Structure 1
Amino acid sequence: MAAPKRKAPGTPGAPEKKNRKLKKALAAEKPPAPAAPQGSTDTRPEESASSEAELTPEEKRVLERKLKKERKKAERKRLREAAAAVPAQPLPAKPSGAQLALDYLCGWAQKRQSWRFQKTRQTWLLLHMYDCDQVPDQHFPTLLAYLEGLRGRARELTLQKAEALMQQLDEAGAGPGRPLLERSRRARQVLQLLS
């Protein structure tokens, strides 16, 4: 047999006594006082015991939940204030893609046993190998040695791009610009290596 439904507070016929008791208990409830010394006598525990005896088990649970929620809120607030008091340390700057790719290339040249292939670093190197600012002259011979081991589609695409760059630079003509001369020199070296 199903239990009869309880009426919601505020509806006609609902038990108003429970609401009054709950409100009284919440109003009378104060944060717990620190533990009193053993020799002292305190009448508060008797008062709270008598007020708790008047509350039903469900009201006690509701009251406990509310008190627990308030304690958690106070704890979170205390932690937030403590975190705000500690000055935030600036995060170290992340290395740029260029630096990561050059480190990858140097790692390949120096520590081949512990070196691991990274497609993103190789792609970056292949895209920027003709730019003197991105890949300095001191790293270009190492990059050429790295390109010797290039296989498959990456090798074909690198060869095609080098040929296309050489044609583009030939059509532009031999201008006095140093960057164009350096790009054509690098493209020629890549073509000689991969052909």
Structure 2
Amino acid sequence: MRSARGLRPARRTRRPGREGAAACRALQETDPELSPEEKRVLERKLKKERKKEERKRLREAGTAAAQKPPARRSGAELALDYLCSWAQKHQDWRFQKTRQTWLLLHMYDSDKVPDKHFSTLLAYLEGLRGRARELTVQKAEALMQELDEAGAASPDPLLLEKTQRLRQVLQLLS
């Protein structure tokens, strides 16, 4: 049986098992006439087989780390680290829109942005430019109106703290 090119017999492809992976390696090393596409296919099969064997080894070892993905940090932690990094003027600090957005959305909530970080956040907001600054002022003014209306009905300590933060932001940006 000849292949489409007519140069050598067509090979049947099959999933490499333990003996199959070794056969693929041997075939790849001994057959220099493999086309680049055939080499890529063989390399993918070998890589897949290695990953499968690695997972099996980890499963047999029973390591807890292999079964549980590493713990991911929350958006709050990442945003506050970003803010602290900015404040310390680290060489590796870079602007990150998602972190800035998180900070702008949650800056009035003292549970998410503690008081010890709020003064740093105010300093960060001083450098806010363009549309982000305009939107922050607009949202703060709208929220201030809502809180003034709601605050007249019942004096809630959380609302008072939020109002105080709003006033500081408006005073800084306006």
Q: TM-score, normalised by structure 2?
A: 0.67
Question: By how many angstroms is 1:73 displaced?
Answer: 7.5
Matches within 5 A, 1:176-195: 176-195=155-174
RMSD over aligned CA atoms reads 3.0
Structure-2 residue corresponding to 1:72: 20
Percent identity, aligned pairs only, is: 65
Give 1:177's aligned amino acid: D
Q: Hey, what's the Cα distance between the residues in 2 that align with 1:65 and 1:115?
A: 51
Structure-2 residue corresponding to 1:129: 107
Give ranges in structure 2 of 5+ residues lacking alignment: 1-8, 24-48
Give 1:82's aligned amino acid: R
Structure-2 residue corresponding to 1:172: 150
Specify whether residues 171 and 114 from structure 1 end up closer, same or farther in structure 2 by C-alpha distance, changes over 3 A only: same
Give ranges in structure 1 of 5+ residues lacking alignment: 1-57
Structure-2 residue corresponding to 1:84: 59
Specify whether residues 190 and 71 from structure 1 end up closer, same or farther in structure 2 by C-alpha distance, changes over 3 A only: same
Aligned length: 135
Structure-2 residue corresponding to 1:100: 78
Q: TM-score, normalised by structure 1?
A: 0.60
Q: Deviations over 1:160-191 (max 9, x none)?
A: 01101110011112423211111100000000
SS of equivalent to 1:122: helix
Q: Which has the larger radius of gyration?
A: 1
Q: Is the 8 A contact 2:151 2:159 kept in 1?
A: no
Q: Deviations over 1:81-122 (max 9, x none)?
A: 534312241333111001000000000001244311000000
Specify whether residues 72 and 130 from structure 1 end up closer, same or farther in structure 2 by C-alpha distance, changes over 3 A only: same
SS of equivalent to 1:139: helix
Give 1:159's aligned amino acid: V
Structure-2 residue corresponding to 1:29: none
More helix by share: 2
Give 1:190's aligned amino acid: V
